[in-house]
Amino acid sequence: MRVRIFKLTERNNFAILLDITALVRKAHHSRDSGGESITLEFLLGTQMTDIKKSIHGEWSSRFAFILAATGSAVGLGNIWKFPYIAGENGGGAFVLVYLLCVLLIGIPIMMAETMLGRRSRQNPIDTMITLADEAGADKNWHYLGWMGVIAGFLILSYYSVIAGWASAYTVKAFFGSFSGADATEIKSLFDGFVGSPLQLMFWHSLFMLATMLIVARGVNTGLEKAVRFLMPSLFVLLILLVGYAMTTGDYYDQGIAFLFSPDFSKLTGEGVLIAMGHAFFTLSLGMGAIMIYGSYLPKDVSIAKTVYLIAGTDTVVALLAGIAIFPIVFASGLEPAVGPGLIFQTLPIAFGNMTGGWFFGVLFFVMLVFAALSSSISLIEPAVAWLVEKKDMSRKQACIWSGAVTWLLGLATVFSFNAWSNVKVFDRTLFQLLDYLTANLMLPIGGFCIAVFAGWIMTQQHTTHEMDMPDALSYKVWRFVIRYVSPTAVFLVFLNVIGVL
């Protein structure tokens, strides 16, 4: 009699401990050429995920996950980035492509990414190792996890600098710097600010420190508490700003028309790539952030319903930001294509001139900083979880290491707005390069691989069980989209950009 244990790899130690009961359940008899044997099938199988929990803890409820994932999704991407890239890419047609990408690529991949995390309950790197092992697939899938962790560092490095701008603008709003100012004054205030490496460095450091402090406190205490009250407040403020924008003369004529009447002659292949990249960026997809949050998701929560809610909220926030900003842009005679400074050159005009502007200005930038914080913590969490799981570090040590690396990388962005503004790689400043590399290449490639993995590598039995859709049809639709539609769409956009189409 022999005992065989399958798929027992050193890397799976953690999973083995948790799944030992399932191991016993799975023991069954089999015959092979040598006679009777007992085969202990160690499959990280259907039942096992039901009893598995992440060593980092679990969200206290579905609501907590929704808040955290929405916190990750809603951030600078919606309020700072979406308006300025829509402005640079001609508005309406760009917005339409972005919305299509959210629907056909973003939402299905968000479901897949959450599902992968919940099934493995580990950091993204080990998630890929475990699930590839389970599916009998190639080990190389773990590079997907690595790419995600690296993308997280790179994104956070510039994210933190821009969040630093928002922090600085909170203080400027508080001291009345916008009061009564016109577009030219607000612009020179902005130019003076980003022209100073010391100021940018100071605010970048402060923001990184805040991120590290929150992440060090862990999933339940740190992350969950931080996002609980931020999201609703931001939402209310945006509505208020839309209200203000409606009072400007250019609300419908130019503001709304710019965002919602598509002119396809203004859309380039590059613009389509940017719109798709932004769908990944804004939903925090393709790099393991949603995967790691999924790994803390309780078993009985419906992934599909939750994802619709998160993606819907994220999209509404971005559109509201656009609706608030563009009327002010046109009413103040500004160009929609001024770039990353767009909200910092427009909203202060509104705050400086509306009744109660001082109060709303301070509040708005405070909210923006908090929205950025609830995203930045998710950018660093995959790396921190990996360091804790694999390198035996405490959360605190892991935060210090990853925070220090990100801070250092962030200096490239700090200087790209001043001292190194002439340094160009592929015709881009270092900030533009980092943004392009991560949002337009790494995230879509990561998302493409996640779709292929969930659609083609994992068994249908496992995905059915894990997705736990309300009905068979919803599952079929999702599986079709994740196998065919999403990967093909990403692929076509890439082909288009390199000029093959």
Give residues in contact with ligand PFF (CB under 6 A): 72-73, 75-78, 155, 281-282, 284, 287, 289, 375, 378-379
SS (H, E, C) 181-213: CCHHHHHHHHHHHHCCHHHHHHHHHHHHHHHHH
On the CB side of 269, how many CA atoms lie within 13 Å of its CA?
11
User: CA torsion, points 227, 231, 233, 239, in degrees to nearest 10?
Assistant: 170
Nearer to ligand PFF, 306 or 378 (CB): 378
On the CB side of 312, how many CA atoms lie within 13 Å of its CA?
7
Instruction: Tell me which residue has its CB nearest to ligand PFF.
Output: 77
Q: What order of strands is seen across the sheet that includes strand 35-40? A: 3-5, 35-40, 28-32
**Pick from 342, 324, 347: which is nearest to 242 by CA?**
324
Provide the minimum distance between the beta carbon of 379 and ligand PFF in the complex, in angstroms, as a whole number: 5
Provide the minimum distance between the beta carbon of 406 and ligand PFF in the complex, in angstroms, as a whole number: 13
Nearer to ligand PFF, 67 or 186 (CB): 67
Beta-carbon count within 10 A of 333 CB:
10
Provide the minimum distance between the beta carbon of 320 and ligand PFF in the complex, in angstroms, as a whole number: 14
Nearer to ligand PFF, 181 or 303 (CB): 303
Residue 332 carries which side chain, given as an amino acid letter?
S
What is the chain's length? 501
Nearer to ligand PFF, 45 or 87 (CB): 87
Provide the minimum distance between the beta carbon of 497 and ligand PFF in the complex, in angstroms, as a whole number: 21
Nearer to ligand PFF, 95 or 181 (CB): 95
Provide the minimum distance between the beta carbon of 314 and ligand PFF in the complex, in angstroms, as a whole number: 7
Whole-angstrom distance, CA of residue 369 vs CA of residue 465: 39
183-194 helix and 197-216 helix, angle to the nearest 10 degrees: 80
**Pick from 134, 139, 101, 136: which is nearest to 116 by CA?**
134
Nearer to ligand PFF, 231 or 379 (CB): 379
Provide the minimum distance between the beta carbon of 37 and ligand PFF in the complex, in angstroms, as a whole number: 46
Nearer to ligand PFF, 15 or 149 (CB): 149
Provide the minimum distance between the beta carbon of 321 and ligand PFF in the complex, in angstroms, as a whole number: 11
